[in-house]
Structure 1
Amino acid sequence: MSETKPVLHVHERPAWNQWIVLSLQHLFAMFGATILVPILTGLSPSIALIASGLGTLSYLVVTRGQIPAYIGSSFAFIFPLIAAMSFGGAAAVMVGTFSAGVVYGVTSVLIKYFGVGWLMRLLPPIVVGPVIMVIGLGLASTAIDMAMNYDEEAGVYVDSLRHFSVALVTLAITIVTSIFFKGFLRVIPILIGLVGGYLIAFMAGIVDFSPVAAAPWFHVPDFAIPFVTVTPMWSMTIIVIMAPIALVTMAEHIGDQMVLSKIVGKNFLRKPGLHRSLLGDGIASVMASLVGGPPNTTYGENIGVLAITKVFSVFVIGGAAVFAILFGFSGKIEALIASIPGAVMGGVSILLFGIIASAGLRLMIESELDMGDKRNLVIAATILVIGIGGAFLEITEYLEVPAMALAAILGIILHAILPNKTVAYGNGQLFSDLEDETTTIDESTTTL
């Protein structure tokens, strides 16, 4: 692990006034990403904020307060969430989110007792990379429709020039922030893009601020509580839509934990252990499902803030979680979020979805995959065309395998049956590093 001189150590508690400021700063870095997922999928941003706060607090408990990680809405589930919402609304999302959390939990138990090698063999870079690309590219049309103000009922773009102009300015603000800004501001390009784009949209006359003025400061969101306000829709189709994506986000989670360990200077893969970290993610998603929120995961933005501020305190992370819960009960904040025009969301999403797709390509490049090898070409090509093309399997009236899940499943199957598996790992660096980091995982912890 690299040597890092922190401003606040992992278990160091700041003075109360510093605590408030640092926690708010951390939340603001997570805020844009946390609210973007529910807005794009039709869920409640207020509930997503509350689920994010509850998930982070539960994560800190499960990991014994040893990992300074914030939990928020997962971008990988945007497409599955949209599909689940169209299939059965909040009742379907609840079951899908719960199933994703269960996959995390089961995997954490398997890693505890059998190590992590089996997971990396199941999900080599040639499978994970293209699937991540599908997640981003599959949402490209969604970003453009929002940016150009597509009217689904009429089937036409309405006042597209004005809306797309706002979207392009929003995109420009986000890009400039990401590339040219320094320090903490560079970590929050989504939030700055949303704020800047909102101001431009207001001047362009496409923002209705009256609901914000009329909204109360305090309100109770319409929680989707199982068997109380919503009856869960138990369907294999929903489970197939959501659960396989958890395997992909696990690969991202592992990468996040490795980077976080290097930044903080502690080996989190050994202590408290990768199994605890994954279990914390899973419990966070299960908790989100119990209130009607989207699946949660650890955030790359969290890593960026820690790297810049050198504030590693879990008390600051916990404070950010508490503020997220409090903000979720604010009617003003919910109304303000709801008033963000689709053009602004579309402008931010153009960059965001492209970055997600690029992250998959980056994984393949860093793994030094030989794309001249026919085996790799076959697997990547199949995943990309099936996933982006929108292919699906309607097995029965009650069971449908959608494009993204089908692409991931076919990729895993092809990797399992085709010969010469070694080329699927490229330079094998991620795999070997992870094996080194987790060889003594069972020595550091003896109970889940």
Structure 2
Amino acid sequence: MAHRNTGAAPKTGRSKKSAKKPAARAVGPDMDSLGFQAMDSNVPGLSHVILQKLNMKSYDDYKSAMDGKKKGSDFGIRTYFDMFQKMEDTFKFCVECKKLPDALPDPKSLRRCKRCQNVYYCGVACQRANWPLHKKFCKKLKLVALDRLVEWLVFTGDIPFPTETWTKPVQDVKGWEDWFAMQGQLEEKLGAVLGGRYMTLLWANAGKPRPEEGELRESVKRLVTDFHSRPVTIGLGLRLFGIEPLAKPLTVHVVGASHVETLNTRATDYDELTRMFPGHQGMEVVMVGVDVVDGPIMRPPLAALGPRGRVYLSSYKGLYHDFWEGHVETQLAARPDLVVGFHPGFHACPDLLEGWLPTLLLLRDYRLPTLFTVYNEQELKASLQILAELETRVTGCAANPFASLRPEQVYSSPNKAPAYCSSHYIAFLGPAAAEAPRVGELEGDGGD
């Protein structure tokens, strides 16, 4: 299972030039690489430990794994116990003094916090010194530690469980509570996951005691929301822009797609859109990005309309501007009805903004309905400011009712408020009009 590396560094920009601007120079750093190596600024040597435990020699090996080019045996993993142990070993460092096991007189002296089963300490002194900070996050970090183990069931196929066609109109489903209420025989479905072979194997090999059934049920539910958050957020974007799936076939571009959206993705993973919009005329979701992983959805985008009543996943490995010029403008692929970006992160640093700038201008100048998600309110405000400076018309921004409920920690610095994928969204469309409201007036606007 890959480390998601939440909070380290966002994904890279996907375009070198704008549709109506001269070409920009190629943007410098590989932000994925910088994000991986940035862990060492908090815990010196941590990136090397991760590579070592995963039987890798360099970041290039890690990147190859993220691209789906390494098999389980290539990681030096032979048993389930070995897999879970190696993963846990990459979290072993003293959260107070930042020392790794090899830097301690006794590498086995690290002890895990009994409450959260997540963070480690090299001794009582460090644990006591860290407690005033850690106690603020201990309960949440317990959920983080549990979910990263139960996530294995996503890869085995136990999660998500089979879902039902929505029995309420989309506008009446206000969030996950309403969504779960529409799932027939929910308790039986959860029980099947908890009683399944892989859940049993997990706790026989995880090196931790099996939690209570209630805790496991809630973990499975959080991971189900994490799995479905992206397709349902796309559905939210269609509603926000008044795009009607029952009226015509639709095309959605996911810009900046990477291994996060495409690693182990199956052709059926966005079928929740069909259950969300029963009777729709057909949808194609095209993953576009330089880090798209080769797999079942690595197939050319459709030039014709998608299959009626189905969601068709396809992908393009490359820059969005190249995709636009080579496929959309030549009619080898359909013009999008909606563009979505999950955590583009262009706010993070000047180099990253420079990489995203041509894409942002293309989206603005072609007046493409666009929905971007961010991790928190701080990212929301920074992104809104950039869009305002680009004179882009923001039509709405708010907390995402279909954000993932799975808490995620900053990997090398866990004692911080957990992040939640797609916690907020920004909707924008075309250039700003002279009478458009200012950014400060838009914050908190639900966009309805």
For the aligned pair, the TM-score class normalised by the smaller chain equals: under 0.3
TM-score (norm 1): 0.26
Greater RCO (CA < 8 Å, at least 6 residues apart): 1
In terms of Rg, which structure is larger?
Answer: 2
Greater fraction of residues in strand: 2
Greater fraction of residues in helix: 1
